[in-house]
Chain A
Amino acid sequence: MITNLVIFAFITGLLTGGVIAGAIAWTRDLGLNLKWWKWLMAAFWYMLLLLLVFAAFTLVGEGEAVAGWKILGIATVVMVILGAGLFRLFTAGHKQ
C-alpha cells in the first residue's frame, strides 16, 4: 500500500516537472511572456482537467461506466471551451 503510494507520488512528481518544463518551453516558443497569475490560471485549468478525468475514471472503476463516460464527455467540452478562452486571454494584444 505505502509502496504503491510512494511510487505513485514519485511518478506524478516527475510528470508534473515534465509538464511544467514543457509549458515553459511552449510559452517561449510562442513568444508569450505570461504573468504569474496567468500561469496560476493555466495551472488551475490543468488541475481541473486532471480532477475531472480522475472523477470520470473513478466512476468507470466503480462500475458506473455510463456515468463516467458522460462526465468525461461533458468535461471535454467544458475544458476545450475554457482552454480556448484562456489561450485567447494569454495571447490578447500579443504580436508574434
Chain B
Amino acid sequence: MAEKSKKDGEAHSRREFLKIGGAVAAGLQVGAVAGAGMAAGKDPSTHTGWQHLGDNTQFVDRSKLIRKGPAYEITGETIRPRRYESAFGRQRLIARDMTQYREMINSFDAGEDRQEGIGNPSDLPERETSPETSGGVRSPRDAKGFPPLETFTEPMLSYYKARPDLYDLDKLRVEEIMPKKRKDQEKYEEFYTLINAWSDSWSTHERITEPPEVSDFKIEGRRKIGKPMPFKSPELASKLIKKVAHHFGASMVGITTIEPDWCYNYDLRGSKNRESYEVPKHWKYVIAFGVPHQWEQVNSNPNSGTSYDAYARISIAARRMETFVKSLGYPARRHSPMDGYDLIAVPYLVKAGLGEQGRHGIVITPETGSNFRVAFVTTNLEMEIDQPIEFGVKEFCEHCQICADICPSGSISKADNNEEMNTRGYRHWEINQTSCYNFWMQSMGGMGCRLCLIACPYSRKSNWVHTGVRKLDTHDPTGLMDNVMTSMQKRLFDAPEAHEYLPPPDGRFANYREAPEWLQVKNYLDIETSDPSLGE
C-alpha cells in the first residue's frame, strides 16, 4: 500500500516537473522571440546598405538577375554628349558669358550667397567659385537679369538657339528662382542651420595652411564663420556633437577641456613661427573620437596590415566635425592622423573618458580594446565634458605582459608597474618610441607595426565570449579574472614569438594572424613572389 503511494507520488512529481518545465520553456521561448525581435529591430547592421556582407561583395546576387543584350537599344546615330547639354555642366559657360555681359554693362557684382549650380570650379576665375552646400559653383549674382540670347558666345549661343526652351528655363532660374531663394535664405536660413552645417561638413575639403587665429575661423579656408549659434545647454551641445560624430563615422566620442601641458610647444601647423607658441585662447574644448581598424587586416600585422585604413576614416570624420562646428559659428581645428596634430593624443583620450592608458603606452577602450585610431577637434563651443573612466586596465596591465613579450623591438616595459615612470611630470606607462619606430622601418607591407594593439587581450573580437569575459573582469574586484584572462590568452591564443616578426635571417616576417584571403597576392595576381616564411 505504502509502496503504491510512493510510486504515485513520484509519478505525480514527474508530471509536475514536465508541466512546470513546459510552461517555463514556453515562457522563455516567447520572451526569446520578443527579445530577438527587439534586437533585430534595433540592430544597426540592418540599416539598408550597411548590412553585413559576409563573404559577398554585394548585397544582392546580381548573377541571377542578368539579362541578355546591350544595356540600351540603339535607335539611331550615336553621338557623344557635350558637357553643356547638362544643366550642371553649362553653369561654367553661363557664368563666363554672364560675367562678360555684366562687365560690358559695368555692373557685375560677384555674389557670396549660396546659389544653385554645379560645374567645374577649377575652370572658373576665383571670384566665380565658392564652396557650396551642394559642392558646386556659384553663378554670378544676377542683379541685372539674364543676358539676352544674342550676347552669349559660342558654344552657348548655338546651343540656346537650338534649344530656346532651355534658354528660357536658365533665364527663369537666374532672374526669378535664385533671387527668390536669396530672400528665402535671408528669412529662413537659420531654421536650416543644422542641416546646412551637416551638409557643409560632408563637402569640406581643405588643408591647414594658416595658423589657428586665421584658419580656425574660416570654413574651407575661404568663408568666414558666422555668428555663433547659441545652444540651449552645454549638455545638448555635447549630445548633438556626439550624435553627429557617430554619423561621421566615429565609433566612440568623448569631450573634454584643453590642457596646455598636452599641446605641442613647437611647430604649430599653419604657422610660420616654428618656435614655442601660446595655446590659442579659443581652444577650450576638445572633441575626441576614434575608429577601430578593419578587423581582418589588423590581425595580420605587422607585415600584412596598415594603419592607414583607420587613419583615413578618422581623419575624414575630423574634417567633417571641424566644418560642422565652424558652420555653427564656432572656431575649430582638427587634429588627425592624415592632417597632423597640435596636441598629444593619449592623455586627451584618457581625460575624455574613452579609455585607460595601457602598458603599451596607448589607450585601451572598453569597446575595442587597443584597436582604434583617434582624431580631435579643438573649439570654444561650450559642451558638457566627460570624465575619465576606470575599468581595471591599470591592474590588468600590471598582471599582463603579453604586449611586452610579443613586441619585436622590445620597446614595451616589462616592469611590474609604472610607479617609477615619469613623463614631463606625469606618471604613466612609457615605451621606447625610437626603437619602436626603428622596427616600423624594418617591417614589410604597410609601414608600421600595431602588434601591441592586436595582441592586447582587450582587443579580442566583440562577440559574446570575449565581451562576457571582459565584463566579468571589469566587475571582478579580486583580480582573479585578470589572471584568468591573461592565462587563457597565453595558453589558448597561439602567436609567433617576438623575434619571428623580424626580417630574415633573425625572423621570418611573421604576422600575428594570416593575412586575409583578399590581401594575399597568390589568390589574385599572376606574379612570382618570394615567401619570407620559407626562409632565404
Taking Cβ atoms with an 8 Å cutoff, the residues of A that contact B are 1-2, 5-6, 9, 13, 16, 20, 24, 33, 35-36, 39, 55, 58-59, 62-64, 66-67, 70-71
Given contacts A36-B13, A66-B493, 8 further A-B contacts (CB under 8 A): A2-B37, A2-B40, A6-B36, A9-B32, A13-B29, A16-B25, A63-B299, A70-B492
| CA gap between A9 and B25 in the complex, in Å | 12
CB distance B36 to A9 under 8 Å? yes
B494 at the interface (CB under 8 A from A): yes
Which of A24, A36, A71 has the most chain B CB within a 10 Å cutoff? A36
Q: Tell me if B46 is interfacial: C-beta within 8 Å of chain A.
A: yes
Q: Mark B6-30, 1 if CB is under 8 A from A, else 0.
A: 0000100110111001000100010
**A67: B residues at CB distance < 8 A:** 492-494
A20: chain B residues within 8 A (beta carbon):
18, 21
Q: Is the CB of B492 within 8 A of A9?
A: no
> Considering only CB atoms, which chain B residue lies closest to A5 in the complex?
B36
Residues of the B chain whose Cβ atoms lie less than 8 Å from the Cβ of A13: 25, 29
* Residue on A nearest B29 in the bound complex, by CB: A13
- The answer to whether B36 and A36 touch across the interface, beta carbons within 8 angstroms, is no
- Judge if B465 is at the interface, Cβ distance under 8 Å: yes
**Minimum Cβ distance to chain A for residue B115 (Å):** 44
The reply to whether the CB of B414 lies closer than 8 angstroms to some CB of chain A is no
Chain B contacts to A: CB under 8 angstroms: 10, 13-14, 16-18, 21, 25, 29, 32-33, 36-37, 39-41, 43, 45-46, 299, 461, 463-465, 491-494, 513
- Within the complex, what minimum Cβ distance (angstroms) separates B318 from chain A? 30
In contact, B33 and A9 (Cβ under 8 angstroms) = yes
Q: Could you tell me if A62 and B463 are in contact, using CB atoms closer than 8 angstroms?
A: yes
**CB-based contact B461/A62 at 8 Å:** yes
CB distance from A32 to the nearest CB of B (A): 11
Taking the closest CB of chain B, its distance from the CB of A77, in whole angstroms, is 15
Q: What residue of chain A has the Cβ atom nearest to residue B40's Cβ?
A: A2
Can you list 12 A-B contacts (CB < 8 A)?
Answer: A1-B40, A1-B43, A5-B37, A6-B33, A9-B32, A9-B33, A36-B16, A36-B17, A39-B17, A58-B463, A62-B463, A64-B492
Chain B residue at minimal CB-CB distance from A70: B492
Q: Are A58 and B493 in contact (CB under 8 A)?
A: no
Closest B residue to A74 by beta carbon equals B492
Return the contact of B465 from the options A24, A39, A58, A70 (Cβ within 8 A). Answer: A58
Closest 6 CB pairs of A and B: A67-B492, A2-B40, A5-B36, A36-B17, A1-B40, A62-B461
Q: Specify which chain B residues have a CB less than 8 angstroms from the CB of A36 in the assembled complex.
A: 13, 16-17
Residues in B whose Cβ lies below 8 Å from that of A70: 491-492
Of chain A, the residue at the smallest CB distance from B462 is A62
Contacts of B14 in A (CB 8 A): 33
Given contacts A35-B13, A58-B464, contact A5 B492 (CB under 8 A): no
Set A9, A16, A24, A64: member contacting B493, Cβ < 8 A: A64
B10, B16, B18, B465: the one within 8 Å of A55 (CB): B465
Question: Which residues on the A side are within 8 Å of B13 (C-beta)?
Answer: 35-36
B46 touching A66, Cβ below 8 Å: no
A2 to B39, CA, bound (A): 9
Q: Which residues of A contact B29 (CB under 8 A)?
A: 9, 13
Separation of A76 and B464 alpha carbons in the complex (Å): 21
- Cβ of B46: which chain A residues have Cβ within 8 Å of it? 1
A54 to B225, CA, bound (A): 56
Among A58, A66, A67, chain B packs the most CB atoms within 10 A around the CB of A67
In the complex, what residues of B have CB within 8 A of residue A2's CB?
A: 36-37, 40-41
Whether A59 touches B40, Cβ cut-off 8 Å, given contacts A6-B33, A20-B21, A66-B492, is no
A95 to chain B, nearest CB (A): 14
**In the assembled complex, which residues on chain A have CB atoms less than 8 Å from the CB atom of B299?**
63
Which residues of chain B are within 8 angstroms of A59 by Cβ–Cβ distance? 465, 492
Complex CA gap A24/B21 in Å reads 13
- Closest A residue, CB atoms, query B514: A63
Cα A33 to Cα B13 in complex, Å, equals: 10
Q: Give the residue name and chain of the B residue nearest to A21 (CB).
A: B18
Measured between alpha carbons, how far is A13 from B31 in the docked complex, in Å?
13
CA–CA, A64 and B492, complex, Å: 9
A2 to chain B, nearest CB (A): 4
- List chain B residues, Cβ under 8 A from A24: 18
Q: Which residue in chain B gives the minimum CB-CB distance to A13?
A: B29
B26 closest partner in A (C-beta): A13
Alpha-carbon gap, A1 to B43, bound state (A): 9
A49 to B29, CA, bound (A): 20
Q: Which residues of A contact B45 (CB under 8 A)?
A: 1
User: How far apart are B371's CB and chain A's nearest CB, in angstroms?
Assistant: 14
Distance, CA A63 to CA B299, complexed state (A):
10
> A66: nearest residue on chain B (CB-CB)?
B494
A6 to chain B: which residues have CB within 8 Å? 33, 36
Residue of B nearest to A43 (CB): B21
Residue of A nearest to B17 (CB): A36
